[in-house]
Amino acid sequence: MSKIINIALVDDEALFVEGLSLLLSNVIHINVIKTANSGLEFLDVLEDSPEKGMPDIALVDIQMKPMDGFELVEILKEKHPDLKIIILSSHYKSNVLGYMIKLGVSAFIPKNANKELLVTAIESVNDSGVYFTQTNQEMLMQYMNSKSKTTKLSTNIELSTREIEVVKLICREHTNQEIAGKLFLSKRTVEGHRQRILEKIGAKNTVGIVVYAIANHIHSST
């Protein structure tokens, strides 16, 4: 059986949270352990109920009051850097996606997504730290080509052939162990490659590697 993935749901629409909790209750390896109807409430829940454990992933809406999703994500990334975040929002625009990626969000899914896509995103983020749909990638390219972008990505960094192979496999959502198997390397060696890639491109996490790969057309090259 798959490892249980503990998640939190944060949305100011109570019925949406209840409906999503019910939907995910039918997925045996996904467990909703915390819910909140505002960013402030979620921060309190994390502090006040440690006995329930820390979620692996938080699904967060953007448009909430008094604290919106942008501010909440910034605080979560500072206080709980290991918590992975999936944005689940109807505000599905390239500039919003670009900004959330800059903050370190692992996935950006529209609220009208079907159950299969949502479960796939949760599983991928839990396993590899990131999940980008083809639409996400197209939106990122649109964002990075715009004059208003706030994320700077270097395009003149030289990666070795092996590092490029690792980047491609990261973009295909493989774990370090899976990459090690495909490239006939040790897991520790792959971890070393990943760390050097992060240092070279100035990224903080897997999301940054994927964004770099999309910007430099590495993810889609053979």
Q: Is the pLDDT of residue 81 over 80?
A: yes
Q: What's this model's pTM, rounded to 2 decimal places?
A: 0.72
Q: SS3 for 67-126, per residue?
A: CCHHHHHHHHHHHCCCCEEEEEECCCCHHHHHHHHHHCCCEEEECCCCHHHHHHHHHHHH
Report how far residue 163's alpha carbon sits from residue 141's, in angstroms, rounded to the nearest whole number.
22
- Dist. CA 76–CA 83, nearest whole Å: 8
Q: What is the mean pLDDT of residues 198-220?
A: 76
Residue 184: helix, strand or coil by DSSP?
coil
Name the β-bridge partners of 109: 88
**Does the domain spanning 161-215 belong to CATH 1.10.10.10?**
yes
CATH 3.40.50.2300 positions along the chain are 5-130
User: What one-letter code names the amino acid at 214?
Assistant: I
| Cβ density class 92-105: b for 16+ within 10 Å, e for less | bebebbbbbbbbbb
Percent of the chain with pLDDT over 90: 41
Per-residue pLDDT tens digits for 18-46? 999 999 999 999 999 999 999 999 999 88
Torsion sign (Cα): 115, 118, 121, 126:
negative
Which has more pLDDT, 139 or 65? 65
Q: What angle do CA 132, 138, 142 make, to 5 degrees?
A: 125
Q: Does CATH place domain 5-130 in 3.40.50.2300? A: yes
Question: What stretch(es) of the chain map to CATH 1.10.10.10?
Answer: 161-215
